[in-house]
Structure 1
Amino acid sequence: MTTLVTGATGLVGSAVVSELINRGESVRILRREKSAMDLLGELADKVDHRIGDVTDRVSVDEAMQGVDVLYHVAARLGFGGKKETRDMMRVNVDGTRNVVDAALHAGVKRMVHTSSIAALGRADWSEGVMDENSEWQDSPANTVYGVSKHKAELEVFRGIAEGLDAVMVNPSMIFGVGRPGENTRQLVDQVRRRQLPAAPTGGNGVVDVLDVAAGHLRAMDEGGTGERYILSGENLSWRTIIDMVAEGFGVRPPRLQLSLPLGMVLATVMEASGRLFRFRPLITREAVTQASRTFEYSNKKAVDELACTFRPFQETIERIVRAIG
């Protein structure tokens, strides 16, 4: 049996590949020619490489030939900006459309699509703990990334209507060793280097990348066609997250709280400077708005139906500290 993984060189994709190799599956990956291979490490020699891009239908079709099951993990994450918005829509929406269509054409038996809690929608700030039944509503509260992942889900649902056996997983904020400067590793490095001046006032769901990878395989094996499963370990405030990271590295956490008004002023200045001097701003108004709110998610469905387990966030931090010192 041949298993294809897109996005295999990223944080989640590389962890999924590791899980698959550990259980003896024959793994093929679709990657760009210049993709960094550091997160795959020695696993890079144990997989079949196909060069291409999810936005290129021809290369997707070629990679899909002879594939039995598929993990579509590839995605672009970002917070606003015209270029980032274009890239997210191109990779997350158009790329998913290509993967779904190629899977249908190739007769792939089953697909797991990596979605996000952002695809659940955030129309009502005060709706409490969200689950898989939360319905998307168009709202300024949704991030551009969330919109792109919602539209990607619609492509998967379309594929299901056309005969594709597919299931989706919706991870919360994923923590792992990762790659410096990317995803939550950027936050971890800012805290350990004492470069974070203040903590946001909100909170979010957090989950270990190892549990996310295991959840992908559980979804493949046990998930219902057309179902979504939230993969999230704990709901924590940003203050708690930052304090735990700081304690793990033995540094003092920032004492200040970043209020929404102050954060918006700083983000506006940084966005303007970024446009003027052509650099990516450290924070954006969209990021500040999201970080000032508290979002909580239920993992009950994944636990009950997939038998997923989620380690404490403290254990995740300890593993990251051991890895990067």
Structure 2
Amino acid sequence: MPATILLTGANGFLGSHVARELLARNYHVRAFVRPGSDRKALLSGASSLPIEFAEGDILNAPDLRRAAKGCAAVIHVAANTQVNPARSADIWAVNKTGTENVIAAVRAENLRRLVYVGTANVFGFGTKEQPGTEKLPYTGAVYGLDYMDSKVAATQLVRDAAHNHDVPALSVHPSFLLGPLDVKPTSGAMLLAIAKRNVPGYPVGGKNYVHVRDAAVATVNALTMGRIGQSYILGHENLTYREAFTLMAEVAGVRPPRFELPPNVAHWYGRFSDWKARLTGRPGLVNVPMTLIANDGHYFSSQKAIDELKLPQTHIRQAIEEAYAWFREAGYLLGRAA
């Protein structure tokens, strides 16, 4: 009888890859999803993946307790990743209170392991020469994003549960995910914008990129690998925005963005977008925190995850190629989704 893994956020970009990786290893997947939520990411051809669905609200502790019953472990991927608007009580509710409820379910059902999925941005970033690691403290509070701040709080909850309450938990922290099956799309929105030549310039900063499938492999590995109470950054290549946008454009077969956006120009564009959002009541494409982040280099090392979770390191060019191939097949590059 295969072990049952409760997977929250199974219908998201990373979650759908984690579901596939679990199935490939003969686990039984119980996907915790909201009633009526979009499950297109869990389709394989014309059919759904062979998984069990447990519907519920992550803010309702009894729902999670029922879903966790009979499971061996939980992989908690579900999160509110909204960054625009920058502040929202809903973000804190899902990311912090939701994680509290997951931890409570793991304790109540005496499960063997909890793998919490955070973000690399809860750690201090570094330069290309000296990238950030799990040892560097959080520096992102200056941006004023509830997403980052709430994920820091959730990571601390998991760490406290492991160290002080005997919960067999550890956390993995992906950087910027690229690859196929980005149904929404999320991070793939940048790939589409590049392909459609809607990006005139590039900011001065940069970030770390990882193939979504590599992150899924390491996340599933964390069910049996890694150390309780530890955190692991899941990333690969550190690229400036100029380098990343040029690579994306090359794969897409279009001219890359040509102009560097000075930090002050990007900042004032963010201010204008915030003003317009307040006037219209609709969030703009960017906001001030997003422009501040784009002006910094969010570079990380994943050596710890490579050593302890056997994190694969697929070249980012391949991730971009697979993403574009999937977007073309699904019709996104024609202005419609199949």
- TM-score under structure 1 length normalisation: 0.94
Aligned-partner residue type, residue 224 of structure 1: R
Q: What is the RMSD computed on CA atoms of the aligned residues?
A: 1.9
- 1:92 aligns to what SS in structure 2? helix
Cα distance in 2, alignment partners of residues 20 and 217 from structure 1: 7
- 1:283 aligns to what SS in structure 2? coil
Cα distance in 2, alignment partners of residues 232 and 30 from structure 1: 26
What's the CA shift for 1:278?
2.3
Cα distance in 1, alignment partners of residues 73 and 144 from structure 2: 32
What's the CA shift for 1:53?
1.9
For the pair 1:272 / 2:275, whether they are aligned, the reply is yes
Aligned-partner residue type, residue 64 of structure 2: V
Cα distance in 1, alignment partners of residues 115 and 43 from structure 2: 24
Change (3 A) 1:310 1:127: closer
CA shift digits 1:60-90 (9 cap, x unpaired): 11111111111000011122536x5322111
Contact 2:159 2:170 in 1 (8 A): no
- 2:103 aligns to what SS in structure 1? helix
CA shift digits 1:16-43 (9 cap, x unpaired): 0000011111110110112111111037
| 1:116 alignment counterpart | 119
Detail structure 1 runs of 4+ shifted over 4 Å in the superposition. Answer: 124-127
| 1:204 alignment counterpart | 207
What's the CA shift for 1:299?
1.1
- 1:49 aligns to what SS in structure 2? strand
Change (3 A) 1:312 1:179: closer
For the pair 1:51 / 2:71, whether they are aligned, the reply is no
Cα distance in 1, alignment partners of residues 77 and 255 from structure 2: 36
CA shift digits 1:157-193 (9 cap, x unpaired): 2321212101111111111234455321111111111
Structure 1 window deviating more from structure 2 (40-49 vs 92-101): it is 40-49
Aligned-partner residue type, residue 37 of structure 1: R
Change (3 A) 1:315 1:141: same
What's the CA shift for 1:127?
9.9
For the pair 1:79 / 2:70, whether they are aligned, the reply is no
Counterpart mapping for 1:282-293 below 5 A: 282-293=285-296
Aligned-partner residue type, residue 6 of structure 1: T
Cα distance in 2, alignment partners of residues 136 and 192 from structure 1: 34
| 2:262 alignment counterpart | 259
Structure 1 window deviating more from structure 2 (276-285 vs 24-33): it is 276-285
For the pair 1:68 / 2:69, whether they are aligned, the reply is no
Structure 1 window deviating more from structure 2 (12-21 vs 303-312): it is 303-312
Change (3 A) 1:90 1:125: farther
Change (3 A) 1:45 1:314: closer
| 1:240 alignment counterpart | 243
Change (3 A) 1:111 1:143: same
| 2:38 alignment counterpart | 36
Cα distance in 2, alignment partners of residues 316 and 174 from structure 1: 9
Correspondent of 2:110 among 107, 111, 123: 107
| 1:8 alignment counterpart | 10
| 2:138 alignment counterpart | 136
Which consecutive residues of structure 1, in runs of 5 or more, have no partner in the other structure? none
Cα distance in 1, alignment partners of residues 169 and 183 from structure 2: 33
Cα distance in 2, alignment partners of residues 151 and 17 from structure 1: 26
Paired residues, what number?
A: 323
